[in-house]
Amino acid sequence: MTGIVEWYKDLMYNRCAPKTQDWFLVSEIGPLLIILVSYVYFSISAGPRYMKDKKPYELRNLMILHNFTQVLFSSYLVYEGLMSGWLYDYSYYCQPVDYSDNPQAIRMARAVHLYYMCKLIELLDTVFFVLRKKNRQISTLHVYHHTLMPICAWIGCKFLPNGHGTLLGLINCFIHIIMYTYYMLSSIGPQMNKYLWWKKYLTTLQLIQFCIIFVHSAQLLFNGCNYPIFITFLLMLNAAIFIYMFGSFYVQNYIKNEKRKADERNMAMRNNALNNKAE
């Protein structure tokens, strides 16, 4: 037990990025785990039970503000990610972590920390679903995604606040600009539905995102890059799990559902034709 405690202390205090050690919600993982356990408990148990005998809350204005804020944050993070390295200086082949006082490295670290904060703010997506009694939208994929991403962001901020792995955040923020724009428009009201035909392409973008991250991370196993192998495996595993889960979601909700709807339309047309012929 003493060895485990010493290993934990060494990991938390000696192997972390010194510049981010004292930043908000970074030094220890305990507060983050409390937030996430509370989030999962509220999402799948306490929240639905609380809302069972209540009318759904009307949160339109709050949701519009939340989604608009996320679009602004995501846009800013895309800009910072590009300006801090990925547009000019970073290598897509191998980009080690820079723990120095280099202003560019510090700038990327601050962007990673803001990304971490955004992952926590995004937990409100599920809270809104619960309060509006949209329990169908609280899927396993949804809860898993919103629980795991803050942990990944904390690991990045604590140990790897710049370098190769930050491409995940850059791509994720770009997709979130599109995704939260969609959410913002849909929260305005049903009159916007005719402009939201592109919903299924959001899932396609999510799949493309994790395919890119898987390949981008996998090359580190072969090119001798000075980047932690354990983190590389975590990035690949995370990407593979999300590819499977988003792929299953896409097949179930778009391919199979569209086939079922097409079969129902064909059946209805055949029934109408038979009825007309009988008359």
| Residue found by looking up tokens 């009988």 in the block | 278
**Nearest Cα to 98, choosing from 165, 53, 183?**
165
Residue 4, class by beta-carbon neighbours within 10 Å (0-12 exposed, 13-18 middle, 19+ buried)? exposed
| Candidates 113, 145, 146, 164; catalytic one | 145
Does 145 qualify as catalytic in the annotation? yes
Spatial separation of the C-alpha atoms in residues 47 and 132, rounded to whole Å: 10
Spatial separation of the C-alpha atoms in residues 152 and 87, rounded to whole Å: 23
| Residue found by looking up tokens 């503000």 in the block | 65
Residue 88, class by beta-carbon neighbours within 10 Å (0-12 exposed, 13-18 middle, 19+ buried)? exposed
User: Is-contact 195 205, C-beta < 8 A?
Assistant: no
Which tokens belong to 93? Answer: 């082949």
Spatial separation of the C-alpha atoms in residues 116 and 158, rounded to whole Å: 10
Instruction: Specify the length of the chain in residues.
Output: 279
Spatial separation of the C-alpha atoms in residues 111 and 96, rounded to whole Å: 17
Active site residues: 145
